[in-house]
């Protein structure tokens, strides 16, 4: 089927899809690279996939070629005619929803587990990511996330304790999921090229530790990393019971937030939950 599709450059030219800076549009046109990204979640044949921000449809094509049943949310209506061509080329495999992904609950779109794949602008990607990983309900309806980020953000997501990149995003991504960088993508792969390098992060949900409130963990990491250069006895003093909990757990209150492992943050949240 794909051999019948016109090159993405031609699709972009024919539909006048000049990249909009406001919508964070940096398109991927290399079909081999797109196939490699679509392979990251594993075998997609017959699987339900949510793609956020399909744009002219490069990644969408790769997902459809892999046999996925794709639901795509796109905010830029200029892209809809190009995506309609893909609906024709892959009958019954693609559903396009025009809208803002930040305002659509993905669970309302599916009656089965689904995989999320997206190449998104930085601010939208991080907001969606924290939303998908947050909340008390676990495990989520999605079975994996495959998301393009600025490399610096990807490194914050997978960071280990005692590094500059370690912070709230790392704890959020790692306390009940596994997160890894699956691929680095050079800025020159995008049209137009962004200023910075990118990386694809792959996240799978894991078992949630017992007796821990997600909200409490968020409050602790917010306080601790809000003053990351301060000792815990200073940064956590506004959180009722936190200093006693540190003592019960044998965590020195002179330590700084970035020295606590994800497991130590989870232990602290359990004490306070």
Q: Using CB positions, name the residue nearest to ligand SAM.
A: 53
Assess 53 for contact with ligand SAM (CB under 6 A). yes
| DSSP secondary structure letters along 59-124 | HHHHHHHTT-EEEEEES-GGGHHHHHHHHHHSTTTEEEEES-GGGS-GGGG-SS-EEEEEE--HHH
β-bridge mates for residue 256, sequence order: 231
Residue span 72-111 as binding mask against ligand SAM, x where in contact by CB under 6 A, dash where not: -xxxx--x--------------------xxx---------
Applying CB under 6 A, what is the total number of residues that bind ligand SAM?
Answer: 24
Output 146 or 177, the one with its CB closest to ligand SAM: 146
Residue 125 within binding range of ligand SAM, rule CB under 6 A: no
- Structural tokens at position 268: 């602290």
Note whether 124 binds ligand SAM by CB under 6 A.
yes
Give the count of beta carbons closer than 10 Å to the beta carbon of residue 233: 14
- Only segment of 24-32, 138-146, 174-182, 220-228 that touches ligand SAM (CB under 6 A): 24-32
120 makes contact with ligand SAM (CB under 6 A): yes
Q: Distance between CA 266 and CA 105 in Å, rounded?
A: 27
Q: What is the SS3 assignment for 36?
A: helix
Min separation Cβ 11 and ligand SAM, Å: 11
| Residue 213 phi, psi (nearest 5) | -90, 130
Footprint of ligand SAM (CB under 6 A): 23-28, 52-55, 58-59, 73-76, 79, 100-102, 119-121, 124
């Amino acid at each position: 089927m794909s051999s019948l599709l016109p090159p993405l450059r031609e699709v972009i030219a024919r539909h006048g899809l000049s990249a909009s800076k406001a919508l964070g549009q940096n398109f991927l046109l290399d079909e081999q690279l797109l196939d490699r990204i679509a392979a990251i979640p594993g075998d997609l044949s017959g699987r339900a996939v949510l793609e956020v921000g399909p744009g002219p449809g490069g990644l969408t094509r790769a997902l459809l070629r892999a046999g996925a049943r794709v639901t795509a949310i796109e905010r830029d209506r200029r892209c809809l005619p190009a995506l309609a061509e893909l609906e024709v080329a892959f009958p019954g495999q693609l559903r396009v929803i025009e809208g803002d992904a930040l305002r659509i609950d993905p669970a309302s779109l599916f009656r089965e587990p689904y995989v999320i794949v997206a190449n998104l602008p930085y601010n939208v990607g991080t907001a969606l990511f924290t939303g998908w990983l947050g909340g008390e309900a676990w495990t989520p309806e999605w079975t994996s996330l495959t998301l393009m980020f600025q490399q610096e953000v990807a490194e914050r997501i997978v960071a280990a304790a005692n590094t500059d990149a370690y912070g709230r995003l790392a704890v959020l991504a790692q306390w009940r999921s596994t997160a890894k960088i699956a691929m680095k993508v050079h800025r020159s792969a995008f049209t137009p090229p962004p200023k910075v390098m990118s990386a694809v992060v792959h996240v799978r949900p894991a078992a949630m530790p017992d007796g821990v409130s997600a909200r409490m963990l968020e409050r602790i990491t917010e306080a601790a990393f809000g003053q990351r250069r301060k000792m815990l006895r200073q940064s956590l003093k506004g959180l009722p019971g936190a200093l006693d909990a540190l003592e019960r757990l044998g965590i020195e209150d002179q330590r700084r937030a970035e020295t606590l492992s994800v497991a130590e943050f989870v232990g602290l949240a359990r004490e306070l939950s």
